[in-house]
Amino acid sequence: MRYLLELKEDDGLCRQAQNSGTFYLFHNLFPFLQKVGSKHLAPQISASELKRILKKFKQNKQKLEDSVLIGCSDECMAYFALDLGSLEKMDIESELKGSFIELRKAFFQLDGKDAPLLSLAQALLRWHDTHKYCSKTGQPTQKNLAGSKRVCHTNGIIYYPQMSPVVITLVSDGSRCLLARQASFPQGMYSALAGFCDVGETLEETVRREVAEEVGLEVESMWYSASQHWPFPNSSLMIACHATVWPQQNEIRVNKLELEAATWFSLEEVVEALRREPRPLKQEDGRFSLWLPPKWAIAHQLIQEWVKQQSTMPA
Ligand X SMILES: NC(=O)c1ccc[n+]([C@@H]2O[C@H](COP(=O)([O-])OP(=O)(O)OC[C@H]3O[C@@H](n4cnc5c(N)ncnc54)[C@H](O)[C@@H]3O)[C@@H](O)[C@H]2O)c1
Residues that bind ligand X (CB under 6 A): 164, 166, 168, 191-192, 194-196, 230, 232-233, 236, 238, 258, 293, 299
Selection from ligand X, Mg ion, none that 223 binds (CB < 5 to 8 A by kind) is none
E strand or H helix that includes residue 79: strand 78-83
Closer CB to Mg ion, 48 or 164, in the complex = 164
Nearest CA to 206 among 173, 251, 248, 236?
236
Least distance (Å) from ligand X to the CB of residue 40? 19
Selection from Mg ion, ligand X, none that 230 binds (CB < 5 to 8 A by kind) is ligand X
Contact 102, 117 (CB under 8 A): no
Least distance (Å) from ligand X to the CB of residue 164? 4
Closer CB to ligand X, 72 or 197, in the complex = 197
Selection from ligand X, Mg ion, none that 192 binds (CB < 5 to 8 A by kind) is ligand X
CB-nearest residue to Mg ion: 195
Least distance (Å) from Mg ion to the CB of residue 88? 39
Cis peptide, bond prior to residue 140, ω within 30 of zero: no
Selection from ligand X, Mg ion, none that 217 binds (CB < 5 to 8 A by kind) is none
Inter-axis angle of helices 298-311 and 267-275, to 10 degrees? Answer: 130
Closer CB to Mg ion, 103 or 238, in the complex = 238
Nearest CA to 34 among 116, 92, 120?
92
Residues that bind Mg ion (CB under 5 A): 194-195
Closer CB to ligand X, 69 or 207, in the complex = 207
Q: Could you tell me how many helices (H) and strands (E) the chain has, helices first?
A: 9, 16
Least distance (Å) from Mg ion to the CB of residue 210? 6
Contact 210, 203 (CB under 8 A): no
Least distance (Å) from ligand X to the CB of residue 271? 19
What does the alpha-carbon distance between residue 255 and residue 260 come to, in Å, rounded to a whole number?
A: 8
Closer CB to ligand X, 93 or 258, in the complex = 258
Contact 304, 296 (CB under 8 A): no
Closer CB to Mg ion, 195 or 278, in the complex = 195
- 162-171 per-residue burial string, b: 16 or more CB within 10 A, e: under 16: eeeebbbbbb
CB-nearest residue to ligand X: 191
Torsion region of 16: left, alpha or beta (phi above 0 gives left; psi -120 to 50 gives alpha): alpha
Least distance (Å) from ligand X to the CB of residue 301? 11
Q: Residues for the chain: how many in total? A: 315
Contact 130, 161 (CB under 8 A): no
Least distance (Å) from ligand X to the CB of residue 267? 20
What does the alpha-carbon distance between residue 13 and residue 36 come to, in Å, rounded to a whole number?
A: 35
Selection from ligand X, Mg ion, none that 168 binds (CB < 5 to 8 A by kind) is ligand X
Closer CB to Mg ion, 120 or 192, in the complex = 192
